[in-house]
Amino acid sequence: MEGFFKHGRGFPSFKNRSNFRSFQYKPGDVKLDGNKIYLPSIGWMRFYNSRPIPQGFQIRTVTLRKKADGWYTSILIKDDSVPDYPTPKEVNTIVGLDMGLTKLVHCSDGSDFDNPRPSTSKKEKRTLKIRQRRLSRKNIGSANRKFEAQKLARLHKKHADKRSAYQWFVANKIVNKADAISVEDLNIKGMKAKCKPKPDDVKQGRFLKNGQSAKRGLNRSISDASWGTLIEKIQYAAAKSGKSFFKVDPKNTSRTCSKCGVVDALSRFGEKFVCTSCGHEAHADKQAAGNIKTRAVQQNGLVIKKLKKVRRDSVKPKQLILFETPTVESTTGKRKQHRARNSFPRCAWEPANSIEFMGY
């Protein structure tokens, strides 16, 4: 009301209870006891305690959210005694990551991760289209419309759960690859921005085609890949494992040659990269991942330690059984058997008695 009368922001509208899908409690209002939680004005309730709170952490704000399949609680915890570890300048290995759509992640070591497309695959797009069409044909305000809206919400949550589970799998795999991880500092919101309108000079009030209809499919694929949440999960997993995490400027990472350093937009043809200067050929996205790795080393002044290589012709140590101590007595019999076996030439077959075998 104040915004309408004093600032003229628009007419006030009635609020529906469906608009409020979450609420929050202040620190100190909520109590926990095993798998029970005390919520003010509601009382003690049972809940699924997915992760126990470590000792020494304080419970701060508690947020309750309503989703398609029930209510969820998010508990913010804090511990001031946890120190901030400094970022090391010397690392053994570092891996660069390039986000994509054909493959979800391309790594600088040559590996990649598939993009499952939980909501933009052919099958899921068809299922989503059917559910949305059924919802649109129901009468507004009817019980059938609410039922169809619930089914549609559960489908969207199913896609989100699949995406989140796969991203945690990818994040843990990537963190186990190296001691440091580098990614691009992407402006995803700007990548999904609408194309600028092109006014028609001939017809006043009309606009020319600007490619927005084709870009709409690209925006959906970017949203389905969810690069932002994937980068957050990789950063969280790296901090939990004590690994270093770096973000670099993404400018010209896919147009720069990793051999000679020449930047040319004509060097890239889709997923193929051919340098116009030195003729270097590589996969465009893996080439970009290598440039991201190099840029992270240069911008942060990292020093990569050289590991000692082991020669292939070196003698392999003998594999012993657990708690076994080799002695002279235990190896004497084996040496005699080895000499007796090599004293006669080997043949393809050897009869037990040559006289009986020949029939004499």
Residues annotated as catalytic (active site), given as ranges: 98, 184, 285
| Contact status, residue 74 vs residue 31, Cβ threshold 8 Å | no
Do the strands 180-184 and 94-99 form a parallel or antiparallel pair, or are they unpaired? parallel
Helix (H, G, I), strand (E, B) or coil at 51: coil
Helix (H) or strand (E) holding 134: helix 122-136
Do the strands 180-184 and 244-248 form a parallel or antiparallel pair, or are they unpaired? parallel
Q: Which residues contact 339 (CB under 8 A, 6 or more apart)?
A: none
CA distance 329 to 28: 72
CA distance 36 to 160: 27
For 118, phi then psi, to 5°, come to -65, -25
For 33, phi then psi, to 5°, come to -150, 90
